[in-house]
Structure 1
Amino acid sequence: MRRFSVVAAAVAGAIGLTLGTTAVAEQPGVQPAERYLNLHQCVYVGSGGHYTNVLPNTANTAFNTGTNISSTPDSALSCSPGGGGWKPAPANSAVKDFDLTAGRYLNMHQCVYFSAGQHYTAVLPNTPNVNFNTGTNVSDTADTKLNCAPGGGGWRLLLANSAVKSFDLANNRYLNLHQCVWTSSGQYYMGLLPNSPNTNFNTGTNASQTADTALNCRVGGGGWALDRIDSAYLPLGG
């Protein structure tokens, strides 16, 4: 089991960022340190299957990532080492630097794959395991169609838990990321988006003029319960 000493179930932190093409590129006084959203997708494998984490601030620190805001794009993946029999899966892990001056929208594609009771969540477009990559991008247009690679090796795309969501970063001050993790019989499932068809497993991720102050996760169901040690929210903005 993946359990460690915990001081808080969900931790929030704010990283300075002015979002969107207009905000970053044209406003006077905006610092270049606010240009890149470096999103680290860290995947771990263990007896319970696959577990994906994208946040740097969960209470379960042995599985945290290097996701950050920076003046430069990250070139090296940063993943904590895991523990309790869980180890990193480099083939499914990656870091992607999203240049927030490149477009108005962060189009996030959440692709969930299923095999023999196991769930695997991917959000990045550039892992070595290309059969499980997504269409996540920054653009001046909002994506309206989900873009997921087909999977393989006995894994198939689970459309009920997959979705695409466009976050308008030009007109909002904060990107509030909510990572919700549910567990059942030693297995783990992570959701990041608020709009999958399987509404019992949606999150509160949003773009807003205000920073969220509480974790927002749906309750789960079908024997799956919220795992607060691995869940967290992170307001990006300021």
Structure 2
Amino acid sequence: MRRFSVIATAVAGAIGLTLGSTAVAEQPGARLTERYLNLHQCVFVGSGGHYTNVQPNTANTAFNTGTNVSNTPDTVLSCGPGGGGWRAAPANSAVKAFDLTAGRYLNVHQCVYFSAGQHYTAVLPNTPNVNFNTGTNVSNTADTKLNCGPGGGGWRLLLANSAVESFDLADNRYLNLHQCVWTSSGQYYMGLLPNTPNANFNTGTNASRAADTTLNCRPGGGGWALDHINSAYHPLGS
């Protein structure tokens, strides 16, 4: 797959950052102290199809997002400018402030759509392009059924790469978000979840009392290779 032309030439891996106050020792019963998970979904389009990014800390900084945890809900989408022929796709981009006091579980729905060799990954429920929205929510109930819009315009849901995972935040200090991007023949595919049927493309995203220190991505396959410069892990919490 052709790289973005704005990508830096040397990358050893992904950079991990911890948001909020300085991390403290692990404690029983600890949980995220910030009220909101502000998840920014930034989608870019170019000759390589669609590329979705939710992380603020990839090595490819021109495509980074404003995802954070805070006691203030974000209301304005924050996306890098893109470049190298890639431009923002506002219809598929959005920010959602998830109120973590509203329930025990963060239910993340990853919906992947496919059209003519292109893959488009969506995780948010509130983009303008409503046919591609997901059921991601905070609830006291763990979701067990995937909720994805029907797609359209030649795009269909790809169930092998789609899944729902419920992250229990009641007794964990961090949401360790792993974004893994694979590349093949000029196309990009982004995955966030650890439990899709297509196991070779799963990630290490988890809820834990400890902050992860390394990126966890499966190896891909079928001609798809991990693209380190657009992949990153981010421990969200304090």
Q: Paired residue for 1:233? A: 233
Matches within 5 A, 1:32-51: 34-51=34-51
Q: What's the secondary structure of 1:195's corresponding residue?
A: coil
Q: Paired residue for 2:89? A: 89
Q: Paired residue for 2:14? A: 10
Q: Which amino acid aligns with 2:55?
A: L
Question: What are the ranges of 5 or more consecutive residues in structure 1 without an aligned counterpart?
Answer: none
Residues 23 and 98 from structure 1, CA distance in 2 versus in 1: closer, same or farther, beyond 3 angstroms? farther
Q: Paired residue for 2:151? A: 151
Q: What's the secondary structure of 1:160's corresponding residue?
A: helix
Q: Paired residue for 1:102? A: 102
How much has 1:24 moved relative to structure 2?
7.0
Q: Are the equivalent residues in 1 in contact too, given 2:181–2:231 (CA < 8 A)?
A: yes
Q: Which amino acid aligns with 1:15?
A: L
How much has 1:16 moved relative to structure 2?
2.6
Q: Distance in 2 between matches of 1:45 and 1:113?
A: 14
How much has 1:236 moved relative to structure 2?
1.2
Q: Are the equivalent residues in 2 in contact too, given 1:24–1:100 (CA < 8 A)?
A: no
Question: What are the ranges of 5 or more consecutive residues in structure 2 without an aligned counterpart?
Answer: 24-28
Q: Are the equivalent residues in 1 in contact too, given 2:102–2:140 (CA < 8 A)?
A: yes
Q: What's the secondary structure of 1:10's corresponding residue?
A: coil
Q: Which amino acid aligns with 1:186?
A: G
Q: Paired residue for 1:210? A: 210
Matches within 5 A, 1:186-225: 186-225=186-225
Query: Structure 1 length normalisation: TM-score?
Result: 0.92
How much has 1:208 moved relative to structure 2?
1.0
How many residues of Structure 1 are paired with residues of Structure 2 in the alignment?
Answer: 228
Q: Paired residue for 1:112? A: 112
What is the root-mean-square deviation of aligned Cα atoms in Å?
A: 1.6
Q: Deviations over 1:142-178 (max 9, x none)?
A: 0000000000000000000000000000011211000
Q: Deviations over 1:180-236 (max 9, x none)?
A: 000001110000000000000000000111111100000001100000000000011
Query: Structure 2 length normalisation: TM-score?
Result: 0.92
